[in-house]
Structure 1
């Protein structure tokens, strides 16, 4: 028996013992129904800090009030049950520009799932810092930065500078109009698709394949892989003002035209 299997068996045994001793069933703490809250956002920069939750970002039209603030709308779905542990969810806006979405799910017998949807004023740049959970964003025309320690990253239709990082998960960005894109995946595949020719693209992958699809115009291209194949079908030109640099430690690199 492997260490992982033995650990899982031990955990299940402990849960069974706890349930027998308590003689109780799991208590539902939150029913998972949607809850809404609005915040007063100041400035044109938003930082979102989250963990243990799926996160969806959507740009929307919002007019500023007399004080120059605009409404930031958040919807939360949180479902949790526990027998012996601590569960809960909280949200707050610090300093008018930092949204903290906190989910607590600790204990021997707990069961939680969480999802947040954040509607962001359309002209606000966004910086996301996620510990655990999938992050998706669609339709942003302002700078967007997403960093997650554990979870997939999905972006669609971005039109400004884009920075994507994940330590454990896949990155997929499609229908991009961004001129500058930087993407790095520690453990997972990396896929970028462009509707318009980018000016600068830089990708890094430690363990996973890299695929970049872009309009067929000449690029300055540099690829480097320690263990994997390289397939480039995009036009090359050393004097081109457009560049694509792709590095992979262990995985294939594909650069192709759309």
Structure 2
């Protein structure tokens, strides 16, 4: 990611020119080499709070130790340079169940990029809250909740309850076996693909299209686009125990079989 202030690209160019004329240069703060740390996780639910970083979440097989705690392994890559500003990263586990990943990148001329990989014990449910960064979570068989502000979401192979909410970011969830899914997007598209027929799906989009692909079995379908087209080719039955509700406030809706 790149952080610039003081009037955008023009100001950045002017400052860089001035820096060159004065003999100043960008100072490298971190070279992007991988750093590792383990945390002792308690309980069966983990909350991850991430700021200004790409986030990858991976379920792993990991037994608890003698006191019932599981190890949570985190790897981070942080690359930064600055002319005049403040940059840095921090990571900590609060209360045994809340992982906080923070990136600081502020100043007149700064350049930062950050990425975190979190290996989560397979039997732990996950609640992710991210600001300014893409979130990827693949292969989770426990309840998964992801909320992002200014970042897209990618999910593959989820098989438990799934909840996704984004602002200024798209959602792409594939190979789903989750029985219940709730997905909402503000200023971004929604794309959901099911390997197994879901029991209940609800989607809502603001300024973005919705595409859902699911096995061809009857569903109770409600699809309403306030300003966009609706195309439903899935089998429909008012008495089905499976339901799909899709709402769009500015964008098309496509519900199709596979």
Please say whether Structure 1 and Structure 2 have the same fold, judged by a TM-score greater than 0.5. yes
The gaps in structure 2 that reach 5 residues or longer are: 1-5
Instruction: Please state whether the residue corresponding to 1:160 is helix, strand or coil.
Output: coil
TM superposition shift of 1:14: 4.5
C-alpha deviation, 1:109, in angstroms: 1.1
Question: Contact 2:12 / 2:109 at 8 angstroms: preserved in 1?
Answer: no
Aligned to 1:106: 106
SS of 2:8's partner is: helix
Cα distance in structure 2, aligned partners of 1:240 and 1:76:
47
CA apart distance, 1:19: 1.2
Give structure 1 stretches of 5+ with no counterpart.
1-5
The 1:14/1:228 distance shift into structure 2, 3 A limit, reads same
Question: Relative to structure 1, is the Cα distance of residues 18 and 70 closer, same or farther in structure 2, using a 3 angstrom cutoff?
Answer: farther
Aligned to 1:142: 142
**What is the alpha-carbon distance in structure 2 between the residues aligned to residue 105 and residue 237 of structure 1?**
53
TM-aligned CA deviation for residue 94 of structure 1? 0.2
Structure 1 stretches of 4+ with a deviation exceeding 3 A read 6-10
In 2, Cα distance between the equivalents of 1:18 and 1:89? 29
Structure 1 residue 10: Cα displacement: 3.9
Superposed displacement of residue 23, structure 1: 2.0
Write the mapping of 1:20-169 to structure 2, written as runs, cut at 5 A.
20=20, 22-169=22-169
Structure 1's 70 and 18: CA in aligned 2 closer, same or farther, altered over 3 A? farther
Of residues 121-130 and 19-28 in structure 1, the stretch that sits farther from structure 2 once superposed is: 19-28
**Cα separation, 2, equivalents of 1:63 and 1:34:** 25
Structure 2 length as normaliser, TM-score? 0.95
Once the two structures are superposed, the pairs formed by residues 200-211 of structure 1 within 5 Å of their partners are 200-211=200-211
- Return closer, same or farther for 1:199/1:76 CA change in 2, 3 Å cut-off: same
Deviations 1:22-51 (A, max 9, x none): 521111110001000000000000000011
Give, in whole Å, the separation in 1 of the partners of 2:13 and 2:117.
Answer: 37
The separation in 2 between residues aligned to 1:102 and 1:7, in whole angstroms, is 25
State the 1:11 CA deviation: 1.9
Residue 7 of structure 1 deviates from its aligned partner by 4.2
SS in 1 for 2:240: coil
For structure 1, which segment, 240-249 or 16-25, has the greater mean C-alpha deviation from structure 2 after superposition? 16-25
Q: Which moved more, 1:140-149 or 1:17-26?
A: 17-26
| Alpha-carbon distance between aligned partners in 2 of 1:229 and 1:173, rounded to the nearest angstrom | 22
Change (3 A) 1:93 1:18: farther
TM-aligned CA deviation for residue 20 of structure 1: 4.4
1: CA distance, partners of 2:165 / 2:213: 19
Q: How far does residue 8 in structure 1 lie from its aligned partner after superposition?
A: 3.2
Compute the TM-score of the two structures, normalised by the length of structure 1: 0.95
Q: What is the distance in 1 between the residues matched to 2:120 and 2:178?
A: 19
